[in-house]
A and B are shown apart, each in its own frame.
Chain A
């Protein structure tokens, strides 16, 4: 009897350290941040309760509003581009393997390599490439295209898109790797059947394989969405939020107010606001999974 109880308790005991870490590190820190966001904390956390004043101030702030706007534009473009490019790269490698061509390993390494670099290094490289007069712009002109101007990185309207380019270049490889794993899980019989029926390959991908890949795509979406919310280092390395405040993002606003601008309260309010869309994305996903497990 006693041994039975013990053996039942063992898994829980093994999970306990992780549960404590999760409760304190994630839940506890989240609740603490929410509490601080309701106080008038400046350099130091304080208990002076001021209600929702920090949130009022946040949404009255030109830069915060622009940051949210930038994040939305960035998020949509980044996620779509990563999905499409990552999927096409995976299909490319998959087709190569199907026709018994060589070089899969080489391509896979090349496609995945950017992901091994830090965002800061990526950002700096792309900053050089995109600097008007040098890099891409300079090369185009040296090749004789004198009318071409590629100065997005110093442009008010386009600076945020240069961040999209750099980060898509980096993240597509990871999406490719995950999608490829998904494609490898597809039953070869499906391909045989499709070939017998004379269905073109692109239709097989679009109408049969893609729906089968849905769990993989959901994982990829989750990864990309968190990458969007925490976008910070690439912006710092590429544009420092400039020109002016044109490419500011919420995470940079939060970091600046935590450390440089000594306003922990306002930074915490920003962090909580940033958490809301992440939870909104996460909740349906978690719900769908729990339904599936229950079924």
Chain B
């Protein structure tokens, strides 16, 4: 009896030692929570995973469908004392509270080594650098308000020039309507409504009004006549949307443009993947406009990895290794080509990207044009409150004065 027990103990001890030894041999183990679960996205994150393995680490993938779900799991695990090694967030204020509770490890060494102060666009820096410390590793940049248009539909409507002002945009929409196509393909979901609004605000109000309203939450600017004009123009766009729009997914709206049934769509650069998957090429079957006019603001956001606080030496090594791996130019290139976004570094090599992405990367280098999307400046609840008002205004006959007042109170707190 005693002998058997000792043998068992020996065996289990040996098994444990072997497991520890092999884990140590496999290098730092990183558990990564992210929500890149769609086809293109998971192919993109596989590139990061492979690079991390090549650097000698062990990657444990915790993919959770849906950004909201994924972020909720991350936050719950951080509170519960069992944080992942790294977790995805949007380049936004989503993780500001976690920083303020001192629950993230900064990545100052890497930031200093790679001179992030100089090579990252300012809106990204503003979000990830808090009180002099860098708390997140940016992965990519998405530009949210591209105007995608069908060359066939434009030709059918007799539009020869890309619109460069709001008036020209409405003129083009009128022509498309007269030609019998859906002028504006829109998916009537709250996040798409706020995206469309951001496009109107940034292009019509310009950088100054946009930042005053969205970043500074300036009550006087929100109550100004200029902002009211923006709201009126936004609502006017609803006249160019088809009745089946409410609740539609963004990619179904893109499909309308691809098929030439609709003239244009305002959507982020992830829509480009749909065109390319349908065998269309930028500049031939479809066009991409980063904004109206040559100096329109360029609304950016992206994804980051954050590294929850830990004392565990192995986890710390894994965090350091992962942070340095994702910022390698080769990894950035491979990841972003599959994701549809562009690399975060302004000095990245753009020769392998398509015409639309190159256009975007050139704009990013102009310090006057990139600004953040609403989520970059607003806390999740402020952004949500703004979204509620905008979607109600878009969907009902709410008078513009009331919408203006409601936005003022939504952004007051």
Contacts and interface: CB of A to CB of B under 8 A. Distances in A.
Interface of A: 42-44, 53, 57, 60-63, 66, 154, 156, 242-246, 256-257, 259-263, 266
Interface string B75-103: 10001000000000000001001100100
A242 B388 contact: no
Given A62-B392, A156-B395, A243-B247, A42 B406 contact: no
Contacts of A260: 68, 72, 380, 384
A63 B385 contact: yes
B203 to A, nearest CB: 24
13 contacts: A42-B381, A60-B409, A61-B385, A243-B188, A244-B394, A244-B395, A245-B388, A246-B395, A246-B396, A259-B68, A261-B384, A262-B380, A266-B381
B246 interface: yes
Given A62-B389, A243-B188, A262-B97, A256 B384 contact: yes
Nearest to B67: A260
B397 to A, nearest CB: 8
A60 B406 CA distance: 8
Nearest to B388: A63
Pick the 10 closest A-B CB pairs, nearest first: A244-B395, A43-B97, A263-B381, A261-B381, A63-B388, A261-B384, A261-B380, A262-B380, A62-B406, A60-B409
Contacts of B285: none
A256 B68 CA distance: 10
Interface in B56-72: 68, 72
Nearest to A56: B413
Interface in B357-413: 379-381, 383-385, 388-389, 391-392, 394-396, 406, 409-410, 412-413
Given A57-B413, A62-B389, A266-B381, A244 B75 contact: no
Given A43-B98, A44-B101, A243-B247, A156 B381 contact: no
Contacts of A243: 188, 246-247, 395
B380 A61 contact: no
Given A154-B246, A243-B188, A243-B395, A42 B410 contact: no
A156 B101 CA distance: 41
Given A244-B396, A261-B383, 5 more contacts: A63-B392, A243-B246, A246-B395, A262-B379, A266-B381
Q: Which residue of B68, B94, B97, B406 has the most chain A CB atoms within 10 A of its CB atom?
A: B97
Contacts of A262: 94, 97, 379-381
Given A61-B409, A245-B388, A42 B97 contact: yes
B412 to A, nearest CB: 8
A154 to B, nearest CB: 5
A263 B246 CA distance: 28
A257 B381 contact: yes
Contacts of B97: 42-44, 262
Contacts of B101: 43-44
B297 to A, nearest CB: 26
Nearest to A45: B79
The range of chain B's interface size is 20 to 34
Contacts of A259: 68, 72
B interface, by DSSP: helix, strand, loop or mixed? helix
Interface string B276-291: 0000000000000000
A154 B75 CA distance: 35
Contacts of A43: 75, 97-98, 101
A47 B388 CA distance: 28
Nearest to A253: B388
Contacts of B75: 43
Contacts of B190: 242, 244
Interface string B133-168: 000000000000000000000000000000000000
A57 B412 CA distance: 9
B388 A62 contact: yes
Given A156-B395, A242-B247, A263 B388 contact: no
Q: Which residue of A62, A154, A246 has the most chain B CB atoms within 10 A of its CB atom?
A: A62
Q: Which residue of A246, A256, A261 has the most chain B CB atoms within 10 A of its CB atom?
A: A261
A142 to B, nearest CB: 19
A264 to B, nearest CB: 10
Nearest to A57: B413
Contacts of A66: 392
B403 to A, nearest CB: 9
A266 B98 CA distance: 18
Contacts of B383: 261
Contacts of B389: 62-63
Contact of A263 (B188, B380, B392, B394): B380
Interface in B238-265: 246-247
A157 to B, nearest CB: 9
Contacts of A42: 97, 379, 381
A42 B97 CA distance: 7
Contacts of B391: 242, 244-245
Interface string B38-57: 00000000000000000000
A261 B190 CA distance: 14
Nearest to A157: B396
Contacts of A244: 190, 391-392, 394-396
Contacts of A57: 413
A32 to B, nearest CB: 16
Nearest to B390: A244
Contacts of B188: 243
B410 A62 contact: yes
Contacts of B98: 43
Given A43-B98, A44-B79, A62-B410, A242 B246 contact: yes
B385 A156 contact: no
Nearest to B94: A262
A53 B68 CA distance: 27
A8 B367 CA distance: 81
A154 B384 contact: no
Nearest to B247: A242
A257 B387 CA distance: 13
